[in-house]
Amino acid sequence: MKTPYYLIDKTKLRQNMELIADLRQKSGAKALLALKCFAAWSVFDDMRPHMDGTTSSSLNEVRLGRTRFGGETHAYSVAWADHEIDEAVGYADKMIFNSISQLDRFGPKAGGIACGLRLNPGISSSQFDLADPARPFSRLGETDPGRIESVLDRINGFMIHNNCENANFALFSRMLDEIEARYGELLRYADWVSLGGGIHFTGEGYPIDALSARLRMFSERFGVQVYLEPGEAAVTDSTTLEVTVLDTLHNGRDIAIVDSSVEAHMLDLLIYREQARLERDEGPYEVMVCGKSCLAGDVFGSFRFTNPLKVGDRISIRNAGGYTMVKKNWFNGVAMPAIAVRELDGSVQAVREFGYADYEASLS
């Protein structure tokens, strides 16, 4: 295939799905795919048997979850608009409100659908202020137990999302201890509690059995159905961004320019100032791999290769599933990566390609 393209490997995706199925069985928790992270619906058929549904952050995601994935559809938004709420209710099994004021305003429109409230415990595992839901003056959820208690007659569940790429089970458990201590009396009134996403339980060596036992303990203590909302955990290392070297040069160090862009195709790397990971990163030749946009800092990172890079060489950039395709954009009009799938038998097929008409249609 002509690069660039995102390549979803169903074999690797299946490995994550099996870990999710194992966690569901051992813990009793339900798992909802977080569409804000991954929404490539061409592989939903492979994910659906191992998960219970989807969770959303917008009207478009609610609709996609209902129409393309099925199962349970949890509808959350930081702020619903008047023109959105009726349609969102039509797709949802649960409406989760970010604030009491949104609950006051739109709760009556939910009809017979279960309603929940986002709870912000004021603690998180995030290493990035940008992604920290417990940052000072956070707008993400209600914090005061007294205020929350006043609306218990209008909700029957909570969403608590305070983990971010948290691969540390001990930290997860300690934070859950604090949540139990502060909000335990409120949790006893709930039928369900979503503990959100950001728990990196599909990472290598993660103690799945310990997590399962901790979730089951929480569920039994408060008599609630626990939900998890894996996004990155669902697609860890399942997807690569395939690129080709277009040019090489030397300016104090060896540089290679590829037919892709960090700004346009792996924006999270730029936002959080992280380096990409390659399928292979070893050898005597160090090269700074850069994108082709005009942004000076459009750099994937510096990597080591067994041979000097030359025009036409292919590079596979790892972990290009979560927060990549959902954030891709047309900056500089750089060619949009196609989306391809490697089937279980090893064959590769393109499931979506983009051209000038898509670029033109994205503008006005």
Q: Is the pLDDT of residue 14 over 90?
A: yes
Q: Is the pLDDT of residue 217 over 90?
A: yes
CA distance 78 to 99: 8
Whole-prediction pTM: 0.95
Q: For 35-53, what is each residue's pLDDT tens digit?
A: 999 999 999 999 999 999 9
* pLDDT at res. 163: 96
Q: For 296-332, what is each residue's pLDDT tens digit?
A: 999 999 999 999 999 999 999 999 999 999 999 999 9
Q: Give the other-Cβ count within 10 Å of 70's Cβ.
A: 12
Residues above pLDDT 90, as percent of the chain: 98
Instruction: Using the structure block, give the residue that is written with the tokens 């194992």.
Output: 22
Chain mean pLDDT for the chain: 97
Contact present, 54 and 65 (Cβ < 8 Å): yes
Mean pLDDT computed over 274-301: 96
Give backbone dihedrals phi and psi of 300, rounded to 5 degrees, phi first. -75, -30
Residues above pLDDT 70, as percent of the chain: 100
**Torsion over CA: 11, 15, 21, 22 (sign):** positive
Q: Is the pLDDT of residue 111 over 90?
A: no
Q: For 130-189, what is each residue's pLDDT tens digit?
A: 999 999 999 999 999 999 999 999 999 999 999 999 999 999 999 999 999 999 999 999
Whose CA is closest to 224, among 165, 168, 159? Answer: 159
* pLDDT at res. 112: 86
* pLDDT at res. 280: 87
Task: Work out the burial of residue 108: count CB atoms within 10 Å of its CB; fewer than 13 is exposed, 13-18 middle, 19 or more buried.
Answer: exposed
DSSP secondary structure code for residue 237 in this structure: T
Q: For 176-203, what is each residue's pLDDT tens digit?
A: 999 999 999 999 999 999 999 999 999 9
Rounded (5°) CA angle 289-295-301: 25
Task: Work out the burial of residue 309: count CB atoms within 10 Å of its CB; fewer than 13 is exposed, 13-18 middle, 19 or more buried.
Answer: buried
Query: Side chain identity at 250, as an amino acid letter?
Result: H
* pLDDT at res. 32: 98
* Exposed e or buried b per residue across 131-170, where buried means at least 16 C-beta atoms within 10 angstroms of its C-beta: ebbbeeeeebbbeeeeebeebeeebbbbbbbbbbbbbebe
Six-digit token pair at 128?
């990035």
Residue 47, classed as helix, strand or coil, is: helix
* pLDDT at res. 239: 98
Give backbone dihedrals phi and psi of 246, rounded to 5 degrees, phi first. -100, -30
- Gap between the terminal Cα atoms of the chain: 30
Six-digit token pair at 95?
């409406």
* pLDDT at res. 180: 97
Contact present, 211 and 19 (Cβ < 8 Å): no
Contact present, 183 and 221 (Cβ < 8 Å): no
Query: Side chain identity at 55, as an amino acid letter?
Result: T
Six-digit token pair at 68?
């393309």
CA distance 302 to 276: 9
DSSP secondary structure code for residue 334 in this structure: P
Whose CA is closest to 325, among 274, 278, 264? Answer: 264
